[in-house]
Amino acid sequence: MRNYGDFLFTSESVSEGHPDKVADRISDTVLDTYLAADPEARVACETLTTTNRVVLAGEVRGPASITSELLIEKTREAIKDIGYDQEGFSWKRADIQSYLHAQSVDIAVGVDSAGTKDEGAGDQGIMFGFATRETETLMPAPLFYAHEILRRIRDYRKAGDARAAGLLPDAKSQVTLRYVNGKPVGATSVVISTQHEAGMSQPRIREELDTIVRETLPEGWMCPSDELYVNPTGIFVIGGPDGDAGLTGRKIIVDTYGGAAPHGGGAFSGKDPTKVDRSAAYACRYLAKNVVAAGLADRCTLQIAYAIGVSHPLSVYVDLDGTGKDIDEAKLGSVLREVMNLTPRGIRNHLRLNRPIYTQTSAYGHFGRTPNDALDDFPWERTDLVDALRGAFNR
């Protein structure tokens, strides 16, 4: 989104009840189950969801106490928590099958530490991180508000609030913002499609969602009435995995920056933190956010590249998009390597990633979340490198 003039930019979000997000939730539930039993467990879990059926597949290495029966039980609990007990998809009646098997020994040889060899990256890949001053969370504004609309619907639905009466778990949002001189100033359109109970009138749904959107957007940002699109195709009763099959990792732009920054292509959910697709993407966000929070730039994009089995990153690229405060980007790249060990083990130790903290990341974005000190969650959202970064540049 390298543009400082006047333009429109759009991002979308999907709810925890979207079929792909149901799959992400289950995959991360499997991961957390393993990490709770063994912080060094290896997990790469993919999930398929469809009409009253869930299939788990992938590779794992962990304690024998994690049985297929336990994972099936945890899967049912996840589906129940999302809110699915419908004829076409029910936590009680869904047929759940697990085809998880042992991790490839060929991968293990390249990834595990041995003797003087440090632990290598779990795969090759390029990972990106991004931060911008557009919102207090240092996230792009269109995605922030698209997420926030759906979070409010979720909270009201689960609380039995009248503002979401009759709404069901599957939902999508899309927010288009107008930028003036490169800064967001208001919404030009908002699209929301939400599953609902049979017989519920579309005017009633629109009234509820109009209220939620107005509560969510900043004062004066509401789009024109005819640019609020609610269930544009009409009735939306059949939803979730019954309406459309879901797969892990199909909403990676929703998970990251809403298209406002590059994405390396790797999905996060269901992968343990030895997989740099996940852990290095978290490190990139952490570093980019600290750069912006330190006042070194208004925008920061980072890229880190790895090779499978190799511990050190092949490259670290920094782009401040012309917003740096007299900062040399090449020097900043070197400083970032100094303030954080960017080997897979170094990232995991610095951010304390070998913990069961991933289920809550599976919907409403992995980034821009507020860490809970009691839970010590979302550590990549903390800004505890600010002093070190300012010191490196005598700020």
26 CA to centre of own chain: 14
Which of 12, 20, 24, 381 is labelled catalytic? 20
Which of 61, 76, 152, 172 is labelled catalytic? 172
Is 46 in the active site?
A: yes
Cβ–Cβ under 8 Å, residues 391 and 162: no
Which of 144, 236, 268, 367 is labelled catalytic? 236
CA 96 – CA 98 distance, rounded (Å): 7
Q: What are phi and psi of 224, to 5 degrees?
A: -60, 150
Burial class (CB in 10 A: 0-12, 13-18, 19+), 105: exposed
Is 275 in the active site?
A: yes
Which of 42, 152, 251, 285 is labelled catalytic? 251
Is 117 in the active site?
A: no
Is 74 in the active site?
A: no
3-state secondary structure of 170: strand
Is 183 in the active site?
A: no
Is 12 in the active site?
A: no
CA 43 – CA 57 distance, rounded (Å): 11
Which of 245, 305, 307, 388 is labelled catalytic? 245
Which of 170, 277, 298, 319 is labelled catalytic? 277
Which of 271, 278, 285, 350 is labelled catalytic? 271
Number of other residues whose CB lies within 10 A of the CB of residue 117: 11
Which of 154, 250, 350, 366 is labelled catalytic? 250
Is 69 in the active site?
A: no
Is 21 in the active site?
A: yes
Which of 147, 157, 275, 285 is labelled catalytic? 275
CA 145 – CA 260 distance, rounded (Å): 14
Amino acid in the structure at residue 25: R
Is 89 in the active site?
A: no
Is 250 in the active site?
A: yes
Which of 12, 18, 78, 154 is labelled catalytic? 18
Which of 9, 21, 144, 294 is labelled catalytic? 21
CA 56 – CA 60 distance, rounded (Å): 11
DSSP state at residue 328: -
The beta strand positions in 76-166, using DSSP E, are: 95-102, 125-132
Q: What are phi and psi of 22, to 5 degrees?
A: -60, -45
Which of 38, 59, 118, 210 is labelled catalytic? 59
Is 236 in the active site?
A: yes
Is 53 in the active site?
A: no
Cβ–Cβ under 8 Å, residues 190 and 178: no
Q: Which residues are catalytic?
A: 18, 20-21, 46, 59, 172, 236, 244-245, 250-251, 271, 275, 277
